[in-house]
Structure 1
C-alpha cells in the first residue's frame, strides 16, 4: 500500500468512525433532553400540587381563625355554654394546638403561635415543594448531560471538517498535519465521551 493510499484509508476510517460517534452523541443528547423535559414537567406538576396544598392550609387557617374569634368573644362575655359549643367544633389540627395552649396556662398570644398548630395541607405542601425541588435539580442535571453530548458533537463535526479538508487538493505535508490534528481531536473526544454517562 502506497503512502497516499494509506493516507486515504486513514481519512476514510476516521470519517466513518467520527460519523458514527456524532450520531451516537446526537442520540444521547436527545435521550437526556427528553429526560430533562420530563423532570421539568414533574417539577412543575409538584409545584402546582404544593400550591394547592398551601391554598388548602391557608383556607383552614382562615376558618380556624374565624372560629377562634367567636370563641374569644364568648369567653369575653362569660358565655361558657357558647364557648364550649364552639370549642367542640374546632378542627382537629386547631384542637391539638388549643389544648396545648390551654394546658400551658395560655401563655402565648394564642393557639396559632403554638408549634402544634399545623393546618391541613401544610405538611403535604412542604413535601410537594421538596419533591418539586428534587425534580428540578434532576432536570438541571439531565440538561447538563445533554449539553455535554451536544458540545462533543460540535467537536466531532470539527473533526469531520478537518478530515474532509485533508482529502482535498492541499500539499501532502499539509494534508498529513490536518489529518493528524483531526485524529488527535477525535481521540480526545472519544476519551472524553467514554467518561459521560449513557442513556438507553
Structure 2
C-alpha cells in the first residue's frame, strides 16, 4: 500500500529546509572564496611592504654614506682653513658633493667665524638635504601604508572565514531539522537556521567584496 501524501505543513517545511540548505551551501562557498581572495590580497600587500622597506633601508644606507663623505670632506676643509692652507682648503672644497654645496655656501654666508648666532656647521642648515634621505622616508611611509593595508586584508579574510562558519552552522540546522519528526522541534531548529543565516547575511552585506582572480 502506498505511503500517504504528506500534509501541507510537511510539504512547506521540506521546501523551506531545502531552500535553506541550497542558499546556505552557496553562501558558505562564497564566504570561503572571499576569505581566500582577501588572503591573497594580504599576501600581495605584505610582499610589497617588505620590498618597500628593503628599498627604504638601501636608500637610508646610501644617505648615511653620503653624509659620512660630507662630514669627512668638511672636516678636512676646516682643518686646512684653520691652518690658512688656502690651496688645500680649495682642494677639499672642489670635492664637496653637489648636495652639500648649497648648505656649505649658506653656512659660510652666516659668517660663522665672527657670528656667535651662526649654526655650528653646514649640517645644521635647512639647505642640507639629501635626496636619498627623502627617498628613504617616502619608501618607509609606503611600506607602513602597505603594512596597514595587509592588516586590513587579514581582518577582512578573518571576517569572511567567520561568516563561512556561521553559514555552515545554519546549513547544519537545516539538515538536522529534516531528521526530526515532531513539528515543534523541527520548526524551532529550522527557525534557528534561518535566523543565523539571515543575521550573517545582514552582517556580511557590510563587507567589501573582492572579485579578483
TM norm structure 1: 0.95
Unpaired stretches in structure 2, ≥5 consecutive residues: 1-6, 113-117
After TM superposition, the runs of 4+ consecutive aligned structure 1 residues lying more than 6 A away are none
Q: Could you tell me how far apart the structure 1 residues matched to 2:130 and 2:89 are?
A: 21
CA distance in 2, matches of 1:120, 1:56: 10
Shift of 1:4: 1.4
Larger Rg belongs to: 2
- How far did 1:54 drift? 0.1
TM-score (ref. length: structure 2): 0.90
**Residues 116-131 of structure 1 correspond to what in structure 2 (within 5 A)?**
116-131=127-142
Q: Deviations over 1:152-194 (max 9, x none)?
A: 1111111111111111135321111010111111111112222
Give the deviation of 1:113 after TM superposition. Answer: 1.4
Residue pairs, 1:28-67, within 5 angstroms:
28-67=34-73
Is 1:103 aligned to 2:109, yes or no? yes
**Count of residue correspondences:** 200
- Rounded to whole Å, the distance in 2 between the matches of 1:92 and 1:30 is 51
Gapped regions of structure 1 (runs ≥ 5): none
The root-mean-square deviation of aligned C-alpha atoms, in Å, is: 1.2
- Equivalent-residue separation in structure 2 for 1:195 and 1:65 (angstroms): 56
Which structure is higher in helix share? 1
